[in-house]
Amino acid sequence: MKHTWRWFGPIDKVTVRDAAQAGAEGIVSALHHIATGAVWPVDEIEKRHREIKAGGLYWDVVESVPVSEDIKTQTGDWKGHIVNWQETLRRLSRSGIRTVCYNFMPILDWTRTDLRWETRHGAKAMRFDLTDFVAFDIHILRRPDANHDYPEWLIEASAKRFAELSGDRIAALGKNIGAGLPGSADGYTLEQLLEKLKTYQGIDRERLQSNLVDFLSQVVPVAEEVGINICAHADDPPWPLLGLPRILSTEADYAHMLSKVDSRANGVTLCTGSLGARPDNDLPQIARQFADRIHFVHLRNVTRDTEAVPCSFFEDEHLEGATDMVAVIATLLEEEKRRRLEGREDHRIAMRPDHGQEILDDLTRGAQPGYPAIGRLKGLAELRGIERALLHPHYGRV
């Protein structure tokens, strides 16, 4: 696989040269400073290429070209935003980009209640605490009818938890849950979040699925034309939040999306951490099922507190947690072998060590939550070790 590393641009406290020293060969990046819905300027695309090359690597994957809320709800200037998305694909293709990741999560991107939760050995990890989240929803955000979305035992537990929260913890929950896309400066106050939730009134799961298919029906032909694979990231966590529908949370969800717009250019960002938060998602099976359409891979692991859906979980070390990482990587390597025999240009699948625990000097560096230098270096080294062992001519499985 192609070993890549997410970089948030010059503001990132982890540099491209750091990534190269960690063993990465390519960079995953985006123009986070460009407004959602706007066309990415050619000079800004070229500038990002130069910044990455100056560090000794190349720009391999775009993560992400954001999909605006107008497109997701089909309101406002949604048609104009799709035209801009199409043009951005054309410009990225001319610059040499061949893979573009995106997500279709309503309002919130990945959602965590803790960005630096302390693990058993003192590392800091991201965590989703279900009771804290429900306490936020009912008692801090005070979303109308929030009580209707939870069982009685969880409502009672969240009320008890809320009564124990300090003022600083209440503020932290609002900031953590209301954060925008990773790498962006966007985010929502409580008042802004409540207003944004109103824009989804009348949009249920089926309507949001339909809007995704409409979007793909218009952008996939352009992707085919310019030689780009676009790939959808899973919901994170993979269940409804704040009364909003989620439509890319299970194997069935992806099967629906891929069947409705049946093109190799319409593919999957396989995130083992996002999908792994659900006990009913079999990650090796999902990798086998969609192997031909997997264009980008996020390898990380989570440990769930329970086997319920939804549940609390934290981001564990890359080889710990619920997902059989060896089986997933073996499936991906088999797919790469198959593609090489077919003569496909995209036979190498880009992967990156996703998120990572803050360890050692990470604890004082203050990098983007989930994207420390040493924690990801450790994860990449472990994942590369699995790959090397599986490909060994005498001992390997592939």
Catalytic residues, by residue number, are 233, 271, 298, 354-355, 371
Strand, helix or coil for residue 168: helix
Q: How far is CA 168 from the centre of its chain?
A: 28
Give the start-end residues of each E strand in 15-64: 26-29, 58-63
CB contact set of 244 (below 8 Å; sequence gap of 6+): 106, 107, 108, 197, 200
On whether the CB atoms of residues 20 and 56 are closer than 8 A, the answer is yes
Q: 339: burial class by Cβ within 10 Å (0-12, 13-18, 19+)?
A: middle
How many C-beta atoms surround the C-beta of residue 208 within 10 A?
Answer: 22
Residue 127 DSSP label: E
Strands 124-128 and 313-316: antiparallel
Strand partners, 58: 26
Distance CA 215, CA 213 (A): 5
Distance CA 84, CA 63 (A): 17
369 CB-side CA count, 13 A: 21
- At 237, which amino acid appears? P
Q: 128: burial class by Cβ within 10 Å (0-12, 13-18, 19+)?
A: buried
Distance CA 192, CA 314 (A): 28
